[in-house]
């Protein structure tokens, strides 16, 4: 029955028939979403009975959800069910690493599994719609919401965009445990000026189309049910009133058949932006632009009826906006069965879910430094290990941002996991040293030094509390907060091997500790099972395999810094860089070259995009393309041989980059075009093949049309964006 009712033609017939029976007030009701975190008071019940609400936010209880759905179906005139929305960003009860950490796994299949368990857990509580994935390209680590992003690259972001949509929505939208996804924030939000949340974004259309829009296009192609408009303005027109985005691109170019929801009160904020004079004008702009549903605020409920009566919004336009919402509800099967039976769902945070969370956390960990191969720790050779720092035993903080439904009581912390791992074979000397990551007291530093001095190795857990990243938590200084750097320097005085494990919601500037520690593991906020994953890496049960999904600057003044930059007319190279401290007094202005770099930081980041060390070494050889010349429209294959030159079985993330040397608009120095996870035994070699077509080389030119131009291309295959063997080929016209 459900499959028949969700067939395309049948759905359209039902949408049309229902629209024909609806009053204007009932149509506007479908466009209204209200926040109801404390249950359903009488006034909301009466609104549902009157058909004045189309969706509710933050009802996280199956019994309450079922009751409100019953009222909607049985006590309203038309029996239209509700969409029940919730921010299920990186897990529900079982919390996975923050999305930026998940991206460090470079494993879309595993992330798809993580989204699936999040959907199952959320659906058991009556939720049928999540506001994820967030697929804003993010090249500014000062922006707090980079934690929710998959990083800086359109290709990688698109892969994770599709994976999360598929994980949430499954193969059949009517299946139990399926929830509608919402790709956000459309569009350009991650380019907010100076990384300040909600801020202005100015993105030339060519950059918008080549960098910021592809992940949203990929989500639409994957069948995402909804999109969310960005808070920010885009080139002077806030997204919630931006017809170019919502109508021209989304509907006309991409043929999107889902619906768009505003962000929280972002329609009434059109007036704060200065686009509109009042709420009525704001409702008019948003409806004309193509925003179907208003979240939290009430400009639609208050003013759309008058705007229709005055002829400023046509009934046809209203029907289009409402029809998109109804279509989604039919596709989700809500008209046939909107109810939730928690007994039919797996137990929350069950063994299987925790195992997936642990695997995602494990693959997200990035080894940034390992001097003298201090890692992995040899547990059979250790009599004692010091565990120091404010993030070692912080079950809430390791969950990260946007974890409304996570349970810190089930978090397995690094301290607990290390104790379990070493058992009675070694002594664990634990000192918190700082109350929080922001503390400035050195009261317990001597105790920490004493613990370090009597231990064979020191693992210091540093980073940011969860509240220091996420929405509205942008930072101008992205050093380790508080006096964590002083703690590291104090510990380094002991002369013991020091391993820094950093839990954070963004890339941090680490230049002030890299010379003070032997090894650095970047753990992001790793979620419920972060502790066991970290212990596995520390003690070599697994080799680290995570790779950075975003560039790490040396200092904040380099921001924005990203691998896919343009070459400029005066590109920097090592031979042209002289540090500020090395300039002679009164040196000639041009004495040390005239190239694009900072004289105090150079032109390179601290760690490049795609970077991550292993407990083994991988080498690359025999890179070539299947043909020196590829005709437009043809397929081709880029190949390389990868060898594990060490003595540890391990995974490598093999990455393919290309450069279009000449274009009708300037092209990046490298663009990611493929990646794969490869597991190799010691001494083992495998040939990796990337199958592409010339369409994979397309870009938007000066006239904003997608094109592939004949010309020369460079190709790299390697372990990060800065390494790899190079070859070349040409695309030729027919």
Q: Which of 338-342, 599-603, 623-627 has the lowest mean pLDDT?
A: 599-603
pLDDT for res 284:
98
List 657's β-bridge partners, or say none.
672, 716
Tokens representing 530 are 């972060």
Write the CA distances from 161 to 259, 300, 372, 481, 670, integer angstroms.
17, 30, 38, 31, 21
CB atoms within 10 A of CB 4: 8
DSSP SS3 for 481 = coil
Residue 594 scores a pLDDT above 60: yes
pLDDT band per the 50, 70, 90 thresholds, residue 5: very low
CA distance 666 to 618: 33
Q: What angle do CA 699, 700, 706 make, to 5 degrees?
A: 80
Per-domain residue ranges for the chain? 618-732
DSSP 3-state assignment of 208? helix
Omega before residue 560 within 30° of 0, cis:
yes
Tell me what pLDDT residue 148 has.
98
Q: Looking at the predicted structure, is the pLDDT value of residue 1 above 70?
A: no
Q: Which residues contact 343 (CB under 8 A, 6 or more apart)?
A: none
Tokens at 324, concatenated: 């998109």
| For the chain, percent of residues with pLDDT exceeding 70 | 99
Question: What integer pLDDT is reported at residue 2 of this predicted model?
Answer: 34
DSSP per-residue letters across 665-683: S--BS-EEEEEEEEEE-TT
User: What distance in Å separates the CA atoms of residue 145 and residue 400, rounded to the nearest whole number?
Assistant: 11
Active site residues: 263
Name the average pLDDT for the chain.
96
| Cβ atoms of 428 and 419 closer than 8 Å | yes
Note if the pTM is more than 0.75: yes
Quick one: tokens of 557?
Answer: 């003044």
Count CB-CB contacts under 10 A for residue 681. 13
Q: How far apart are CA 570 and CA 608, in angstroms?
A: 21
How high is the pLDDT of residue 196?
97
Residue with tokens 């909301």: 44
- What pLDDT shows up at residue 114? 98
Confidence check: pLDDT of 3 > 80: no
pLDDT of residue 388: 98
Q: Residue 729 in contact with residue 628, Cβ under 8 Å?
A: yes
What is the distance between the alpha carbons of residues 82 and 79, in angstroms, rounded to a whole number? 10
According to CATH, the superfamily of the domain at 618-732 is Immunoglobulins (2.60.40.10)
Please name the residues in contact with 259: beta carbons below 8 A apart, sequence gap of 6 or more.
225, 226, 227, 292, 293, 321, 324, 325, 327, 328
Averaged over 183-202, what is the pLDDT?
A: 97
Average pLDDT over residues 262-284: 98
pLDDT band at 593 (very low <50, low <70, confident <90, very high): confident
Tokens encoding 38 = 């404390």
Do 525 and 97 meet the contact criterion of CB atoms below 8 Å apart?
A: yes
Give 591's pLDDT tier (boundaries 50, 70, 90).
confident
Of the listed ranges 541-550, 578-587, 618-627, the one predicted with least confidence = 578-587
Q: What is the pLDDT of residues 701-713, one digit of tens each?
A: 999 999 999 999 9
| 421-450 pLDDT tens trace | 999 999 999 999 999 999 999 999 999 999
Using DSSP's 3-state secondary structure scheme, residue 95 falls into strand
Lowest-pLDDT choice from 4-18, 103-117, 415-429, 474-488: 4-18
**DSSP element (H, E) containing 718:** strand 711-718
Q: What is the reported pLDDT for 96?
A: 98
The pLDDT tens digits of the residues spanning 544-563 come to 999 999 999 999 999 999 99
Check if the beta carbon of residue 150 is closer than 8 Å to that of residue 102: yes
The reported pLDDT for the residue numbered 4 is 39
Q: β-pairing, 55-57 with 83-86?
A: parallel
- Contact between 430 and 423 under an 8 Å Cβ cutoff? The reply is no
- Span 62-121, pLDDT tens digits: 999 999 999 999 999 999 999 999 999 999 999 999 999 999 999 999 999 999 999 999
How many percent of the chain have pLDDT more than 90? Answer: 94
Mean pLDDT computed over 159-188: 97
State pLDDT tens for residues 351-377: 999 999 999 999 999 999 999 999 999
Cα–chain-centroid distance for residue 416? 28
Question: Could you read off the pLDDT of 31-51 as tens digits, one per residue?
Answer: 999 999 887 888 899 999 999
Residue 278 has pLDDT above 50, yes or no: yes
Q: CA–CA separation, 482 vs 497, rounded Å?
A: 23
Q: Identify the pLDDT of residue 402.
A: 96
Instruction: List, edge to edge, every strand of the sheet that includes 671-680.
Output: 629-631, 725-732, 711-718, 650-660, 671-680
The C-alpha atoms of residue 644 and residue 615 are separated, in whole angstroms, by 10
The separation between the first and the last C-alpha atoms of the chain, rounded to the nearest angstrom, is 51
Q: What is the mean pLDDT of residues 253-281?
A: 98
């Amino acid at each position: 029955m459900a499959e028949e009712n969700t067939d395309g033609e049948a759905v359209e017939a039902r949408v049309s028939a229902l629209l024909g029976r609806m009053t204007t007030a009932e149509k506007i009701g479908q466009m209204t979403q209200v926040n109801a975190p404390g249950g359903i008071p009488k006034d909301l019940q009466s609104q549902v009975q009157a058909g004045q609400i189309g969706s509710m936010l933050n009802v996280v209880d199956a019994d309450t959800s079922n009751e409100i759905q019953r009222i909607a179906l049985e006590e309203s005139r038309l029996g239209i069910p509700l969409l029940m929305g919730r921010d299920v960003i990186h897990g529900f009860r079982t919390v996975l690493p923050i999305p930026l950490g998940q991206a460090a796994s470079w494993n879309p299949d595993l992330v798809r599994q993580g989204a699936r368990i999040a959907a199952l857990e959320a659906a058991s509580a009556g939720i049928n719609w999540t506001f994820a994935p967030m697929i804003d390209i993010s090249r500014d680590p000062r922006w707090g919401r980079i934690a929710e992003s998959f990083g800086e690259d359109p290709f990688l972001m698109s892969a994770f965009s599709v994976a999360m949509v598929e994980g949430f929505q499954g193969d059949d939208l009517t299946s139990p445990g399926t929830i509608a996804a919402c790709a956000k924030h459309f569009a350009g939000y991650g380019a907010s000026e100076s990384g300040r949340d909600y801020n202005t974004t100015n993105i030339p259309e060519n950059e918008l189309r080549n960098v910021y829009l592809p992940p949203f296009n990929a989500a639409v192609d994957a069948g995402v049910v909804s999109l969310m408009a960005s808070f920010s303005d885009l080139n002077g027109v806030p997204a919630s009133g931006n017809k170019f985005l919502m109508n021209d691109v989304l509907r006309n170019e991409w043929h999107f058949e889902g619906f768009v929801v505003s962000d929280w009160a972002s329609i009434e904020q059109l007036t704060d932006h200065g686009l509109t004079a009042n709420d009525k004008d704001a409702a008019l702009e948003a409806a004309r632009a193509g925003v179907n549903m208003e979240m939290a605020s009430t400009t639609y409920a208050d003013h759309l009826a008058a705007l229709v009566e005055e002829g400023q919004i046509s009934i046809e336009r209203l029907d289009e906006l409402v029809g998109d919402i109804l279509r989604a509800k039919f596709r989700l099967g809500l008209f046939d069965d909107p109810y939730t039976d928690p007994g039919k769902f797996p137990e929350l945070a069950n063994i299987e879910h925790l195992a997936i969370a642990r695997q995602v956390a494990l693959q997200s960990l990035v080894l940034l430094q390992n001097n003298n191969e201090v890692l992995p720790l040899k547990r059979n050779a250790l009599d004692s290990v010091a565990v120091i720092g404010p993030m070692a035993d912080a079950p809430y903080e390791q969950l990260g941002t946007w974890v409304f439904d996570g349970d810190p009581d089930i978090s397995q912390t690094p301290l607990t996991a290390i104790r379990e791992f070493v058992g009675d074979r070694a002594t664990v000397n634990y000192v918190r040293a700082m109350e929080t990551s922001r503390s400035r007291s050195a009261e317990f530093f001597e105790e920490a030094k004493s613990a370090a001095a009597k231990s064979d190795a020191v693992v210091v857990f540093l980073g940011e509390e969860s509240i220091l990243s996420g929405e509205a938590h942008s930072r101008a200084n992205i050093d380790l907060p508080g006096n964590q750097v002083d703690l590291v320097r104090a510990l380094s005085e002991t002369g013991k091997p020091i391993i820094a494990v950093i839990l954070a919601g963004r890339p941090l500037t680490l230049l002030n500790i890299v010379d003070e520690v032997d090894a650095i593991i970047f753990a992001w906020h790793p979620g419920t099972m972060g502790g066991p994953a970290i212990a596995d890496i520390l003690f070599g049960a697994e080799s680290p395999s995570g790779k950075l999904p975003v560039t790490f600057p040396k200092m904040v003044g380099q921001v924005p810094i990203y691998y896919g930059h343009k070459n400029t007319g005066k590109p920097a190279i090592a031979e042209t860089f002289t540090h500020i401290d090395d300039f002679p007094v009164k040196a000639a202005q041009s004495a040390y070259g005239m190239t694009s770099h900072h004289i105090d930081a150079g032109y390179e980041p601290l760690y490049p995009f795609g970077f991550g060390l292993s407990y083994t070494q991988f080498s690359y050889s025999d890179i070539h393309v299947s043909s020196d010349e590829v005709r437009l429209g043809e397929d081709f294959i880029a190949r390389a041989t990868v060898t594990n030159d060490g003595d540890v079985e391990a995974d490598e993330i093999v990455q393919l980059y290309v450069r279009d040397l000449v274009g009708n608009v300037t092209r990046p120095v490298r663009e990611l075009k493929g990646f794969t996870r490869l597991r190799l035994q010691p001494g083992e070699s495998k040939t990796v093949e990337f199958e592409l077509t010339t369409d994979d080389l397309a870009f938007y030119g000066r006239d904003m049309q997608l094109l592939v131009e004949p010309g020369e291309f460079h190709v790299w295959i390697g372990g990060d964006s800065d390494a790899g063997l190079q070859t070349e080929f040409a695309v030729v016209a027919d």
